[in-house]
């Protein structure tokens, strides 16, 4: 009998307690083997060469070299799946978003203790990372680098040099952070654009932060209401929404209880809360709940999708399921399709992890399977031509 290959994992963290907690947590899963630990990136470099792990978990704040600098070097010289562990702070979550842009597959809150749900989440993320489309991640990082370099050249004032902010304890940083920050101007969207019950619902997990960015940054200011559930830890969702808001011509922010989805606004479910849609006579409104996890997630895509069905979402609803592990969102998408919604799943070729879209396709929930670059144009057509009984063309 052929034994199943375990996912060989290296843990990189300067905290002995965290290394111990992570090792004990992962030891509970027979499909994962912790092959070593490292106290900093220099030790990690040697152990990567010696042990050849399949996945690395990486802290951000460490002595001698910060995690993001090390991640960029790993992705350049020895590309491999990396999961970031970050502290539950504003600074930590902002750096976690920077790490995702630099090539990390996923991000988790740094543990202080572990519950069953946290054990499961960590193990599943590591197994998903081992299956991730690493070439796709590398290509995205390279494209972002080219875009950022071009944007910095355009936005740097004539005769002025950008000011680099060195990482603590580092003599040099291969890609310093620039002090110039530019938020895309927000263009007001006339409320007369609003079509009753018109809304875009989008769900994603592993690889989703970059996929969502790729979709939203291709949209004009005049968009229909968009609600997003991305599997993301508490505190990190605000940094994710703020990053998108700085890149898009419309408003993107973390959802609050009582929010009303409207044209020109994107609402991102906060980590740790389910986002529920209700119909209030003339418009949708948002409720946030701390109900039980669904598919080991909170927020869960299925919770938002199912709430939309109960709220009467139908032919004026566009439903999109992007890259991610597991099956969250597939059943809810099927229910929305039965209610008359237009449904799209991202294709395997452009997914970092082809889990959630695959399940939606298998169940017959997805009317169309599209590459990531085809999804923004479909949203634009939906903005002016809601599906109706004949549906919106996906091409």
Higher pLDDT, 310 or 110: 310
Residue 185 domain-assigned (yes or no):
no
Supply the residues annotated as catalytic: 205, 231, 328
Cα torsion 394, 263, 251, 336 to 10°: value is: -50
Residue 170 domain-assigned (yes or no):
no
Tokens representing residue 70 in the block: 């090390």
Can you spell out the DSSP letters for 20-68?
HHHHHHHHT-TTEEEEEEESSHHHHHHHHHHH--SEEEEESS-SSS-HH
What is the pLDDT, as a whole number, of residue 390? 44
Residue 350 domain-assigned (yes or no):
yes
| Residues in CB range of 359: below 8 A, 6 or more apart | 326, 327, 330
207 lies in the same domain as 68:
no
Domain that holds residue 92: 7-136
Residue 287 has pLDDT above 60, yes or no: yes
Cα 59 to its chain centre, rounded Å, is 18
120 lies in the same domain as 36:
yes
Last residue of a domain, one of 136, 168, 202: 136
User: Cα angle vertex 163, ends 160, 169, to 5°?
Assistant: 160
216-274 confidence digits (pLDDT tens): 999 999 999 999 999 998 889 999 999 999 999 999 999 999 999 999 999 999 999 99
221 lies in the same domain as 126:
no
pLDDT band for 179, please (50, 70, 90 cuts). Answer: very low
Residue 203 has pLDDT above 90, yes or no: yes
Burial class (CB in 10 A: 0-12, 13-18, 19+), 256: exposed
16 lies in the same domain as 132:
yes
The total number of structural domains that make up the chain: 2
Residue 3 has pLDDT above 90, yes or no: no
Residue 166 domain-assigned (yes or no):
no
Residue 165 has pLDDT above 90, yes or no: no
Residue 160 has pLDDT above 50, yes or no: no
Q: Which of 28-42, 108-122, 131-145, 172-186 has the highest mean pLDDT?
A: 28-42
Residue 81 domain-assigned (yes or no):
yes
236 lies in the same domain as 108:
no
Average pLDDT over residues 269-283: 96
Average pLDDT value over all residues in the chain? 86
289-302 confidence digits (pLDDT tens): 999 999 999 999 99
Last residue of a domain, one of 136, 161, 182: 136
Whole-number Å distance between alpha carbons of 375 and 391 = 15
Tokens representing residue 53 in the block: 């792990």
What is the pLDDT, as a whole number, of residue 388? 53
Contact 275, 303 (CB under 8 A): yes
218 lies in the same domain as 316:
yes
Residue 58 has pLDDT above 70, yes or no: yes
What is the pLDDT, as a whole number, of residue 54? 97
What is the pLDDT, as a whole number, of residue 273? 97
Residue 84 domain-assigned (yes or no):
yes
36 lies in the same domain as 116:
yes
346-379 confidence digits (pLDDT tens): 999 999 999 999 999 999 999 999 999 999 999 9
Residue 12 domain-assigned (yes or no):
yes
- Please name the helix (run of DSSP H) or strand (run of DSSP E) that holds residue 345, with its range, or none: strand 342-346
- Domain CATH for 348: 3.40.50.180
275 lies in the same domain as 365:
yes
217 lies in the same domain as 339:
yes
Whole-number Å distance between alpha carbons of 40 and 61 = 10
4-19 confidence digits (pLDDT tens): 589 999 999 999 999 9
287 lies in the same domain as 351:
yes
130 lies in the same domain as 231:
no
Nearest to 355 by CA among 204, 141, 201, 136: 204
Residue 48 domain-assigned (yes or no):
yes
25 lies in the same domain as 91:
yes
């Amino acid at each position: 009998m052929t034994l199943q290959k375990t996912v060989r994992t290296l843990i990189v963290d300067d905290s002995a307690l965290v290394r111990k907690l992570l090792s004990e947590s992962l030891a509970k899963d027979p499909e994962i083997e912790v092959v070593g630990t490292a106290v900093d990136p220099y030790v990690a470099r040697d152990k990567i060469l010696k042990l050849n792990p399949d996945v690395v978990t990486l802290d951000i704040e460490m002595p001698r070299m910060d995690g993001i600098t090390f991640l960029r070097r790993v992705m350049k010289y020895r590309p491999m799946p990396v999961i970031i562990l970050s502290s539950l702070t504003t600074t930590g979550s902002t750096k976690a978003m920077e790490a995702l842009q630099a090539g990390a597959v996923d991000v988790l809150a740094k543990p202080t203790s572990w519950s069953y749900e946290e054990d499961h989440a960590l193990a599943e993320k590591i197994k998903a990372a081992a299956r991730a489309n690493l070439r796709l991640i590398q290509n995205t990082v390279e494209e972002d680098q080219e875009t950022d370099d071009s944007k910095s050249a355009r936005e740097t004032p004539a005769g002025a040099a950008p000011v680099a902010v060195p990482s603590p304890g580092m003599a040099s940083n291969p890609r310093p952070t620039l002090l110039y920050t530019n938020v895309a101007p927000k263009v007001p969207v006339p409320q007369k654009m609003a079509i009753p019950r018109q809304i875009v619902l989008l769900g994603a997990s592993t690889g989703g932060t970059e996929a969502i960015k790729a979709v939203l940054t291709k949209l004009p200011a005049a968009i229909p209401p968009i609600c997003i559930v991305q599997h993301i830890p508490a505190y990190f969702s605000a940094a994710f929404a703020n990053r998108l808001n700085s890149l898009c011509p419309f408003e993107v922010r973390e959802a609050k209880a009582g929010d009303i989805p409207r044209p020109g606004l994107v609402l991102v479910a906060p980590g740790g809360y389910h986002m529920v849609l209700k119909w209030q006579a003339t418009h949708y409104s948002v409720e946030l709940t701390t109900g039980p996890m669904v598919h080991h997630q909170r927020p869960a895509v299925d919770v938002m999708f199912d709430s939309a069905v109960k709220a009467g979402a139908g032919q004026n609803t566009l439903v999109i399921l992007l890259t991610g592990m597991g099956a969250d969102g597939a059943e809810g998408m099927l229910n929305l399709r039965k209610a008359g919604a237009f449904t799209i799943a991202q294709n395997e070729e452009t997914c970092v992890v082809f889990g959630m879209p695959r399940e939606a396709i298998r169940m017959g929930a997805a009317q169309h399977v599209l590459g990531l670059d085809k999804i923004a144009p479909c949203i634009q057509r939906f903005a002016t031509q809601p599906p109706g009984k004949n549906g919106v063309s996906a091409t």
